[in-house]
Amino acid sequence: MRTLRTRRVATARLTQQILETGPGAGPQDPDETVVFVHGNVSSSAFWQDTLLDLPERYRAIAVDLRGFGGTDPLPVDATRGLRDYADDLAALLDALHVGSAHLVGWSLGGGVVLQQLRDRPSSVRSLTLVNPVSPYGFGGTRGEDGQLNSPDGAGSGGGAANADFVRLLREGDRGDDSPLSPRQVLATCYVKPPLRPAREDELVAAMLTTHVGDDHYPGDSTVCDTWPGVAPGDRGVLNCLAPTHFRLDDLHTLPVLPPVTWIRGEDDIIVSDTSLFDLAHLGALGVVPGWDGTPAQPMLAQTRHALGLYARAGGRVREVVVPGAGHAVHVERPREFGAALLETLSEGART
């Protein structure tokens, strides 16, 4: 029976907390090492059941990104896009003597592992993307090729966060009275209602490990003249994802093209062509005032476009849609998620 271990690992960049199971420290077969990267406002705890469900032969490692869980809360330089996180991941793999591995990234973590692929393609055996952020960032773009709506990235970045959610997160709210409490966001946005996760209290606690502020979540922002009046700053999580700082439009040119599986919940409302977290779509719905007709970001179409280029260049790409699931497919539908993941791990081992 698999057991979980939690420990902090000193690396060349910072000390990172990991959750792991399977064979212990030391060099491992890269075909049997799987590394999991969580999404925004969460931690490695969201991968706990996935790690326990893997076959015994796999060494599974789930990392807390900087500013989440038990990892050092070093400031996030958003001008580097997701490279602070990807460089941290590379440093962790070095410290653990993992030369290459299968990488699995959820939401924000999907962008992190894509950045790892972009910068260090030989370190990736396979890539599994779980409701990932678009390769063209979050907010502020239009069209499948991610054209900026405004040169300053208006509509994206730290100013796009809901102030009440940020306040309740900062206050460590564990209740469900407010629709914007972390618990209610978990229950209505991370998963599709009426599902309530079996480990809900633990997952809420994981969300509350998020460091809040300009250097972390949501980050700073700037005022601009373009609707909706906010543009990205240079610090913190949401600015890392702004299209002015994060864009991966050349993945198909890499010298190594490991297999990629894109797993997504059909009813995800966070990463969607009609995302309820996209100010442009909220403007069209009348939720954000003064909407000027800016189109919603076609997040799914953008990911499909980028992965289509990757496939035409020779990479193997598979899209797995899970009906009735939301943003956290691995939490909501562990059996279907696990089956798709194992197929990808087998495919990556043959590469």
Instruction: Give residue-wise pLDDT tens across range 138-173.
Output: 999 999 999 999 999 999 999 999 999 999 999 999
Burial class, 342, CB count within 10 angstroms (exposed 0-12 / middle 13-18 / buried 19+): middle
The predicted pLDDT at position 22 comes to 86
In this model, does residue 24 exceed pLDDT 90? no
Q: What average pLDDT does the structure give for the chain? A: 96
Letter string b/e over residues 182-206, b meaning 16 or more CB atoms within 10 A of that residue's CB: bbbbbbbbbbbeebebeeeeebbeb
For 310-338, what is the mean pLDDT?
A: 98
Return the ∠ at Cα 134 (arms to 269 and 235), rounded to 5°. 100
- pLDDT tier at 65, thresholds 50, 70, 90: very high
The predicted pLDDT at position 23 comes to 75
The predicted pLDDT at position 30 comes to 62
Sign of the C-alpha dihedral computed for residues 83, 85, 87 and 89 taken in this order: negative
The predicted pLDDT at position 2 comes to 80
In this model, does residue 25 exceed pLDDT 80? no
For 13-30, what is the mean pLDDT?
A: 79
Tell me the C-alpha distance between 174 and 185, whole Å: 11
Q: Which domain holds residue 161?
A: 5-349
Residue 13 belongs to a domain with what CATH number?
A: 3.40.50.1820
The predicted pLDDT at position 234 comes to 98
Q: In terms of Cα–Cα distance, which of 176, 161, 258 is closest to 216?
A: 161
Is 59:31 a contact under the CB 8 Å cutoff?
no
Note the pLDDT tens digit of each residue in 179-194. Answer: 999 999 999 999 999 9
The owner of tokens 């899970």 is 322
Query: Tokens at residue 264, please?
Result: 């997504």
The predicted pLDDT at position 351 comes to 60
The predicted pLDDT at position 280 comes to 98
Is 132:111 a contact under the CB 8 Å cutoff?
yes
Domain count, the chain: 1
Tell me the C-alpha distance between 116 and 88, whole Å: 10
The predicted pLDDT at position 41 comes to 98
Tell me the C-alpha distance between 281 and 139, whole Å: 10
Q: Please, what is the end-to-end C-alpha distance for the chain in angstroms?
A: 29
The predicted pLDDT at position 347 comes to 83
